Structure 1
């Protein structure tokens, strides 16, 4: 039986700060592997190459006073040294683009591949650094653009700052000094794989174990890893008419790299993918996004009602490893925690303090019953994705990543 206290224990001992190419990523891989071996699994590491980055020196000053910020990965040059008064150009409005300086402040970016096109236009006008504010009271987020954009676009250094600091920079027009030294390098990462169950068709269960740069990765996705580890423990000797494959993906935060590598080379087409991303918050509610037919949502609603556990269910896509499989026609259920601390995701505040066994309790009940129904063979899973969701998947890749599928 799923034990939320044990899931929380697994979470509490999972290494923090697991960004791709760091010692934290390596220690997390070793930790997950050791736990799976404790549960008597044969474990395989699926290695792949991935471009990542590290920041060596970072400094942002306004009239000599230090300002908190986060450089966005894969933007700018590897060595950036700038000093200039800035110009505020709102959302890149053309009427504000005359006489732009080396450093500008944007109020927002348009999203997806449009970001790259706008930033590239700014580069051509001589802009070498772009300051972008967060919403009020939110710390600067950590992240990066897709590495492939660098081969197609020249992009200025992107700096995320607090709303209050951006407002002060705009109103006071100080001298802005930027010093950022960073390294872009190719790293060997690895997905972690093990199997259990019967000999029938295969259901895959997955969670990504990496985190973004400079973030402990509690909610995203230490909670998801703990859910999946606890499921591997309780399902090890459970027999049924379907086989289970457990997948702990690397480099999700760099553009779904681990899942994309696995989905692209895997010879076995999964009947269904069950993904865990964002989990464990003590203050939140349980949610499932289904990239599949209504029969799956009906089964989840039935289990939710039988269990007296609330579950918000939607037929919709989710920006997570499920997309690597959705683009190949494999349906998925994406379990998560609608969290009241979600604004901390991708920031240094996504720590371990907000995660508790309470956050694993209800979802653990639902997921275990869902898997038992699937393992019994009594439930037939529609193995197609509805057209409206196929269109959403294509739009996601086209507009977010600039890829036609």
Structure 2
């Protein structure tokens, strides 16, 4: 039984052509989740199910930017921006990357031009009460991306009207600084529901040892998210088909997470549930004294699969955990190919919340020139190939078979070196302004 690239490619087609954009919390995302549930159930996973979780859903209905002497400038509203249906006006002021050294009284009441993502910079920017912000796209030849003003930044610091413009108009806009501009934006916000999809292959001899094999099935607001990450999800789902036939000594839990593109919402929800149950169970001193194990304790490893499917590409593996995880990748690559570059780092995806809870992880990615289109409307089905999927898929299949599914004893200890753990904590602190160990409520 071998990983079949054509089968995986058909899953990619269904997610990206049949469904299209799968922004978490939308009807399309729910439709994609149901397709994946039914697909894996058809391979004998009777427990295939949707795992719902709450999510904030921002959608932009209309946006407009007009500049004196330049006229209307095409733009895209940023998700999570403050609504400004009647428009705001002010002079254009260029503040480079929005660092505090570029801010001051000259920003008050102005439309700021910023050549960087807002993120936590929005705190310092809002302090000077600008009328609005225009984010300048820094990558040439791409349509402007509607990146979120992150959930945590919005809740902690507030927001303001913000749009994004293409790179090819940025220098013209900066050349018009000091001129009057008007920005209008109509957006909606509602509490919605998104869905992780999961199914489990019980272990034959070690069912209490759980290995999560996962990838995210959602896309950004802007496009179909083919390489990132319909292709990674397809690899996970084809591996589920293969191991249903091959079997595994320990339990393999296959998960298509959602909300990754909105800040790892689905995997944070999953990890928080495990942490909450773990915390409650361990309040019972008898449970601890008798060596009881919670579901979190039973999680031994995460295999995360993100950004796949390109034919012209190179392979990488990112390790958060014992060095043997990376050594096994190098050994298998040296024996049979393809070549992998191994990094000891916290990969920025759904592996991270479980690693923050103490579960080691290996993340597989395949990067090439077509990754340039990630998070844009250019990440289309035509970029993906059956051969590209098969290159990674067969390697990961053998990695799982050799080191996870077949051994009498899992060769990787459930431990994360201190420097890796610190890297994960800093990742959540700097990128998301979160500490996942502070409380367990959603």
Which TM-score applies when normalising by structure 2? 0.86
Q: After TM superposition, give the deviation of residue 401 of structure 1 in Å.
A: 1.5
Long gaps (5+) in structure 1: none
- Counterpart secondary structure, 2:381: coil
Give yes or no for the alignment of 1:241 onto 2:249.
Answer: yes
Match of 2:338 among 309, 313, 337: 309
- 1:107 corresponds in structure 2 to 115
Q: For residues 47-196 of structure 1, what are the structure 2 equivalents within 5 Å? A: 47-63=52-68, 65-77=71-83, 79=85, 81-92=87-98, 94=101, 97-100=104-107, 101-109=109-117, 112-113=119-120, 115-122=121-128, 125-173=129-177, 174-196=179-201
Alignment of 1:331 with 2:367, yes or no, is no
More deviation in 265-274 or 294-303? 265-274
CA shift at 1:213, angstroms? 0.8
For residues 218 and 152 of structure 2, the distance between their equivalents in structure 1, rounded to whole angstroms, comes to: 20
- Distance in 2, matches of 1:272 and 1:248, equals 16
- Are 2:21 and 1:20 equivalent residues in the alignment? no
For the pair 1:278 / 2:307, whether they are aligned, the reply is yes
Between the aligned partners of 1:120 and 1:260, the Cα distance in structure 2 is: 28
CA contact (8 A) 1:138 1:162 kept: yes
How far does residue 362 in structure 1 lie from its aligned partner after superposition?
1.7
2:234 is equivalent to residue 226 of structure 1: yes
Bigger shift: 151-160 or 162-171? 151-160
Equivalent residue number for residue 256 of structure 1? 264
Deviation track 1:63-114 (CA, whole Å, cap 9, x = no partner) reads: 47443322221122364612333111223454663332431112335x753x
Q: Distance in 1 between matches of 2:359 and 2:85?
A: 42
Cα distance between partner residues in 2 of 1:58 and 1:189: 26
Maintained 8 Å contact 1:134/1:161: no
Determine the C-alpha separation between the residues in 2 that align with 1:80 and 1:304: 59
Q: Where does residue 388 of structure 1 map in the other structure? A: 419
Tell me how far 1:225 sits from its aligned partner.
1.0
Aligned-residue offset at 1:188: 1.3
State whether residues 319 and 325 of structure 2, in contact with CA within 8 Å, keep that contact through their aligned partners in structure 1. Answer: yes
Could you tell me which runs of 5 or more consecutive residues in structure 2 were left unpaired when the two chains were aligned. Answer: 275-293, 438-442
Aligned residue pairs, count: 401
In structure 1, distance between residues paired with 2:265 and 2:370: 26
Kindly tell me: are residues 204 and 78 of structure 1, through their superposed partners in 2, closer, same or farther at Cα, counting changes over 3 Å? Answer: farther
RMSD across aligned C-alpha pairs, in angstroms?
2.0
2:52 is paired with a residue of what secondary structure?
strand
Which structure's residues are more often helix, by fraction?
2
- Asked if the contact 1:52–1:254 (Cα under 8 Å) also holds between the matched residues in 2, the reply is no
